[in-house]
Amino acid sequence: MKVYPFKIPKPLHDSLVYQVDHDIAFYDKLHQHEDIQLSFIVEGEGTLIVGDSINQYKKDDIVVIGSNLPHVFKSNLTYGKKSHMLTLFFAKDSFGNDFFELEELKELTAFFKRAARGFKVTSSKKAISLLFMQLENASKLSRFLILLELLKKTSVCNYMSLSSFIYDKKYKEPEGKRMQDVFDYTMTHSNNDISLETISEVANMTKNAFCKYFKKRTNKTYFRFLNELRIEHACKLLIEETEMGIADVAFRSGFKNISNFNRQFKMIKKNKPGNFRKL
């Protein structure tokens, strides 16, 4: 299976694909596809990288990932339960080039604008999740009608963007494989020291070339990305490990210096670790 580009397998003549992922972990390779993805996390938790941003996903989350937006779900295998996700895939032109330009569908325009950066639903989650649960036993026509209802609800719900910029080009396979290797190594070793020399070797590039390469494709420096990954892990620990001290949280997240941890946390989360835990 190629990492880039990733093509959603569709039965002949089908414009809308319903997919159920139910396994130990979700597909964990950095990839992008032309189809827009609407997903409901029935079970599971982990890290979700979309475009240039690092997020967490958990049970009952509803996420939308736009066309050709690079992303990867990294399941938390220590969670102890299988990962279970329900997804609809479709392209904006799946039902004809001008279908979504019809006057009757103009109120769905907000959905496509939001999807370009990817977004997580933060309101009306119960009503939207119930629509997802109806998909399994629905006919093809019913699934199409459910899709329209999902688009309507996710056009007006409260939401949180998943990426801060729109990536509008397709990765070629070697380029995608390189980024996948960099992401894999970083997520596996984020609690250890990672030097520029080490990560450049993973990418099989010189240090200067790698810095320019990574910045161009993620809109941020590599070490900004690494610190964001560590801070997201720290946030998880602050919430779940309530008896753990701030210094231990910093150390377990890959920071060797508490003052640097506090500085990076405030820069990324606009708050202090202690205040974040209280909130």
At 115-155, the pLDDT tens digits run 999 999 999 999 999 999 999 999 999 999 999 999 999 99
Domain contains 271 = yes
Q: Is 234 inside any structural domain?
A: yes
Q: Quick one: 56 and 157 in the same domain? A: yes
Element (H, E) at 212: helix 207-218
pLDDT tier for residue 1 given thresholds of 50, 70 and 90: very low
Predicted confidence (pLDDT) at residue 8 exceeds the cutoff of 80: no
Assess if residue 9 is contained within a domain.
no
Q: Read off the pLDDT of each residue in 148-173 and give the average, rounded to a whole number.
A: 84
CA torsion angle for 100, 104, 108, 109 (degrees, to 10)? Answer: 70
Mean predicted confidence (pLDDT) in 55-61: 93
- Look up the pTM and report it: 0.78
pLDDT of residue 2: 35
pLDDT tens-digit profile of 66-75?
998 889 998 9
Final residue of a domain: which of 108, 141, 161?
161
Decide if 7 is inside a domain: no
- Structural domain for 67, as ranges: 17-161
Task: Tell me which residue of 72, 81, 63, 83 sits closest to 129, measured CA to CA.
Answer: 63
User: How does residue 238 score in pLDDT terms, banded at 50, 70 and 90?
Assistant: very high
pLDDT at 6 over 70: no
> 191-225, pLDDT tens digit by residue?
899 999 999 999 999 999 999 999 888 888 999 99
Same structural domain, 201 and 126: no
Kindly report the average pLDDT of the chain as a whole number.
Answer: 89
Count the residues in the chain.
279
Residue 106: phi, psi to the nearest 5?
A: -60, -25
Domain assignment of residue 167, yes or no: no
**Whole-angstrom Cα distance, residue 273 to residue 261?**
9
Residue 79 sits in a domain of what CATH number?
Answer: 2.60.120.280
Alpha carbon of residue 221 to chain centroid: 19
- 121 with 157: CB under 8 angstroms? yes
Task: Indicate the pLDDT class of residue 184, thresholds 50, 70 and 90.
Answer: confident
Do residues 27 and 134 both lie within one domain? yes
Based on the fold, state whether residues 23 and 156 are members of the same structural domain.
Answer: yes
Beginning with the edge strand found earlier in the chain, give each strand of the sheet holding 36-43 in spatial order: 17-23, 83-90, 36-43, 62-65, 119-121, 159-161
